[in-house]
Amino acid sequence: MFTAELPGLTAETERVLGIAQAGLTRVIRIFDDELRSDMPEVGALVSLVERYRGKMLRPILTLVVGLASQADASSRQSLDALREEHYVSAAVIEMVHMATLVHDDVLDEADVRRRGPTINRLHGNEPAVILGDLLIASAYHLCSRLPSPEAARMVARASVVTATGELLQLHHRGDFDLSEPTYSRIIAGKTAELIATASELGAWATGAPSTVCSGARAFGLAIGSAFQIQDDILDLLGDQALVGKSVGKDFEKGKLTLPAIRRLAGFGSSRGAERGAFLALLERATRDEDGRSRAELARDLVESGAVASARRRASEWISEAKDSLGVFEPSPARSALEVMADAVLSRHS
Amino acid sequence: MFTAELPGLTAETERVLGIAQAGLTRVIRIFDDELRSDMPEVGALVSLVERYRGKMLRPILTLVVGLASQADASSRQSLDALREEHYVSAAVIEMVHMATLVHDDVLDEADVRRRGPTINRLHGNEPAVILGDLLIASAYHLCSRLPSPEAARMVARASVVTATGELLQLHHRGDFDLSEPTYSRIIAGKTAELIATASELGAWATGAPSTVCSGARAFGLAIGSAFQIQDDILDLLGDQALVGKSVGKDFEKGKLTLPAIRRLAGFGSSRGAERGAFLALLERATRDEDGRSRAELARDLVESGAVASARRRASEWISEAKDSLGVFEPSPARSALEVMADAVLSRHS
């Protein structure tokens, strides 16, 4: 459940999230129906995907934006206002997201996801790559059920940008000179774009005017960037048991994230000994076998204030996200979006 | 060029293939435009995909079926009869096919494709997996340019079936009891389905009646199965320099193909010494380091007539394919499809 953990909930916003939660059962039914296979060999593998299901941030976002973007005030609080387009696009986005998770776990050589073994860990990389491909194809198959190709165009565009962001990240692997603007482009691509599209599709399915669709998109883009910064901080500081997936993978894979980028920027143009010592520590952390160097690095990044600085950047994104909600009329659904935005910062898993 | 190598060519069919060849330049332009990236880091990787381009069987098939399925006899010999839908769907199919090749090379740990190093060999598995995802997303993005979601539905369905066939194949890896019906289902899924859809889309884009679309689909399905049997024989007997991609991968990956399946079936219910010796040879070939056991296996499969028997099965598929051309009016375009069907059997790469 998404609602139980959120700070700043009022009875009204909780009601809206409850409506979205109820709508989610229909999303899940559409999702499962699409993936049903008559081959037992395939069905067994596909059923593993269910275990990957998390808080379902993206489909909930589609549904809540679907409510918030209604022209009529009473529709903003009624499940009846949501149309087939909302449910199908929410399921499509979740399926594309799942495919990304399955492929990411192969790329990251991750062993744990949602407190269970990953598909690559259980069955090897080959079925995991193909299962990801199957999920992507199923997502577009589902999407083609909608009468216009518009949703497919948006989802495909988002997936192109996601892959581009991931390629950019790979290109900068092991690059300790990675700049903050390039890091921002990477996370906007690999994470924020799909969340932005989940949000935009909610308004699109409502048939909202283009300013509202753009505002919804901007909201998703901003919370998406905050989400990834928080994810990177959890990878750095999180406890695997709490986070529920493999942690410490970023440094192992030579990915520089915001705390380290800000720490390095803090040295300014100085090429002094302190900077040299930090770079040496970074180097050790990427080759770390027993986790000791990574723990030392994490301590350095907390004590130097670099983690706090990264957290501030995430907060700024959340403020930006809330500003873009101005395109919606005030309503409990819009307040629910604010609550969801805040929840991005307070999450621990 | 596709035309130069084909047996049974007449001047008329050559003219039709020339028209399709001319249409291909437009398909390639659509393909390249879709993949153009403004990020140099991404563009460099994407440009590697061009090297994977082969004879372009699938898009040529879409275009030639596009001609053969015209209601008006003169349109069957004119490039003007082809519409935007023909070109876009041909480019979409080729892009989906390329994505499959990129991912397959990762799964097969292949080093060579089209006489050059594979992308996974050059840059590692991670960019290869993401590049495949980028190609798939780009294919659906391109497809959403068409006014109806029908083509996307067909392509997505084909990709689901392709992945399902691949999962079925993985499931039976190392299974020396693999039956011929299951092998047929595997190749119908992993290879023939996309070729069937390439063919069907040609008739769909023409706006041909459903019987013609079904005939086109049946044609593609049959040549696709023949194509994969021939591919499996080339993997067994082919010379890497001639085939242009890694060979001997099937046994290395524990994939039983038709010659071995027919060889095993030839022993009937006998569990005698000869069958035991053959199974031991199969076992050795899957673990073969220096290629000697694989060479011995290949010799056994040729000398026992198992390869000839597999070739006969491929010929039967080609006869079936030609039978399904009955839905088309006789025309040089229809004859060109017959020539293309025969070419599947005579190819060496």
Q: Which of A101-110, A144-153, A180-189, B278-287 has the lowest mean pLDDT?
A: A101-110
Do residues A272 and A280 lie in contact, with contact meaning Cβ atoms separated by under 8 Å?
A: no
Name the residue facing B141 among A146, A148, A157 (closest C-beta). A157
Of B225, B289, B277, whose CA–CA distance to B251 is shortest?
B289
Q: Which of A199-203, A286-290, B81-85 has the lowest mean pLDDT?
A: A286-290
Where do the DSSP E strands lie in A79-170?
A: 112-113, 116-117
CATH architecture observed for domain B3-227+322-346: Orthogonal Bundle (1.10)
d(CA B61, CA B68): 10
With a cut of 60, say whether residue A20 has pLDDT above it.
Answer: yes
Of B104, B131, B129, whose CA–CA distance to B190 is shortest?
B104
Of A116, A111, A73, A96, whose CA–CA distance to A329 is shortest?
A73
Mean pLDDT of B192-221: 98
The per-residue pLDDT of chain A, averaged, comes to 90
Asked if A106's CB is within 8 angstroms of B163's CB, the reply is: no
Nearest chain B residue to A154 by CA distance is B141
With a cut of 60, say whether residue B318 has pLDDT above it.
Answer: yes
Residues of A in contact with B201 (CB under 8 A): none
- pLDDT for residue A251: 77
The percent of residues above 90 in pLDDT, for chain B, comes to 69
Mean pLDDT of A100-106: 88
Question: Is A3-322+330-346 a domain of CATH 3.40.190.10?
Answer: no
With a cut of 90, say whether residue A247 has pLDDT above it.
Answer: no
With a cut of 50, say whether residue A1 has pLDDT above it.
Answer: no
Name the residue facing B126 among A107, A127, A162 (closest C-beta). A107
d(CA A198, CA A193): 9
Tokens read off for B337:
């499809």
Using DSSP's 3-state secondary structure scheme, residue B117 falls into strand
Min CA distance, A12 vs chain B (Å)?
A: 39
Nearest chain B residue to A186 by CA distance is B39
* Residue B143: pLDDT band with limits 50, 70, 90: very high
- pLDDT for residue B114: 67
- pLDDT for residue A7: 66
d(CA A325, CA A334): 7
Beta-ladder partners of B112: B117
What are the sequence ranges of the domains in chain B? 3-227+322-346
Mean pLDDT of A197-205: 98
Tokens read off for A172:
């900068």
Do residues A88 and A143 lie in contact, with contact meaning Cβ atoms separated by under 8 Å?
A: yes
Min CA distance, B159 vs chain A (Å)?
A: 6
Using DSSP's 3-state secondary structure scheme, residue B112 falls into strand
Residues of A in contact with B137 (CB under 8 A): 136, 156-157, 159-160, 162-163
* Residue A245: pLDDT band with limits 50, 70, 90: low
Burial of A203 (0-12, 13-18, 19+ CB in 10 A): buried
Matching residue, tokens 């289902």: B185
Residues of B in contact with A166 (CB under 8 A): 130
Mean pLDDT of A167-181: 93
**Could you tell me the CA-to-CA distances from A70 to A75, A197, A204, B276 in Å, in that order?**
6, 18, 11, 71
Q: Which of A228-237, B7-16, B135-144 has the lowest mean pLDDT?
A: B7-16
Instruction: Output b/e per residue, B322-340; b: 16+ Cβ within 10 A.
Output: bebbebbeebbbbbbbbbb
With a cut of 80, say whether residue B279 has pLDDT above it.
Answer: yes
Instruction: Output b/e per residue, A264-277; b: 16+ Cβ within 10 A.
Output: beeeeeeeeeebee
* pTM of the predicted protein model: 0.93
Asked if B143's CB is within 8 angstroms of A167's CB, the reply is: no
Mean pLDDT of B166-188: 94
HSE at residue A115, side-chain half, CA atoms within 13 A, is 5
Min CA distance, B191 vs chain A (Å)?
A: 14
The per-residue pLDDT of chain B, averaged, comes to 90
Question: What digits encode the pLDDT tens for the residues B247-256?
Answer: 677 777 888 9
Name the residue facing A167 among B125, B130, B153 (closest C-beta). B130
Burial of A73 (0-12, 13-18, 19+ CB in 10 A): exposed
Question: What digits encode the pLDDT tens for the residues B21-71?
Answer: 999 999 999 999 999 988 887 888 888 888 778 889 999 999 999 999 999
Q: Which of A79-88, A237-246, B4-13, B182-191 has the lowest mean pLDDT?
A: A237-246
Of B224, B238, B213, whose CA–CA distance to B294 is shortest?
B238
Choose the mutation target among B46, B48, B126 for the interface with A, i.e. most A CBs under 10 Å.
B126
Residues of A in contact with B99 (CB under 8 A): 133
Mean pLDDT of A88-109: 91
Q: Which of A201-215, A282-296, A302-316 has the lowest mean pLDDT?
A: A282-296
Q: Which of B110-124, B134-148, B185-199, B226-240 has the lowest mean pLDDT?
A: B110-124
Beta-ladder partners of A90: none
Handedness of CA A263, A268, A269, A270 (dihedral sign): negative
HSE at residue A92, side-chain half, CA atoms within 13 A, is 32
d(CA B241, CA B227): 20
Asked if A147's CB is within 8 angstroms of B138's CB, the reply is: no
Choose the mutation target among A123, A130, A255 for the interface with B, i.e. most B CBs under 10 Å.
A130
Q: Which of A261-270, B78-87, B132-141, B336-345 has the lowest mean pLDDT?
A: A261-270
Residues of A in contact with B170 (CB under 8 A): 126-127, 130
With a cut of 90, say whether residue B185 has pLDDT above it.
Answer: yes
- pLDDT for residue A243: 58
The percent of residues above 90 in pLDDT, for chain A, comes to 69
HSE at residue A147, side-chain half, CA atoms within 13 A, is 4
- Print the SS3 string covering B234-303: HHHHCCHHHHCCCCCHHHHCCCCCHHHHHHHHHCCCCCCHHHHHHHHHHHHHHCCCCCHHHHHHHHHHHH
**Could you tell me the CA-to-CA distances from B93 to B60, B99, B162 in Å, in that order?**
11, 10, 13
Tokens read off for A238:
């999180």
- pLDDT for residue A332: 96
* Residue A14: pLDDT band with limits 50, 70, 90: very high
- pLDDT for residue A302: 94
Nearest chain B residue to A168 by CA distance is B41
Amino acid at B304: S
Mean pLDDT of A245-256: 76
Mean pLDDT of B111-138: 83
Nearest chain B residue to A163 by CA distance is B134
d(CA B251, CA B257): 9
Q: Which of A55-59, B82-86, B138-142, B249-253 has the lowest mean pLDDT?
A: B249-253
Residues of A in contact with B164 (CB under 8 A): 37, 39, 42, 134
Residues of A in contact with B157 (CB under 8 A): 137, 141
Do residues B298 and B344 lie in contact, with contact meaning Cβ atoms separated by under 8 Å?
A: no
ipTM of the predicted assembly exceeds 0.85: yes
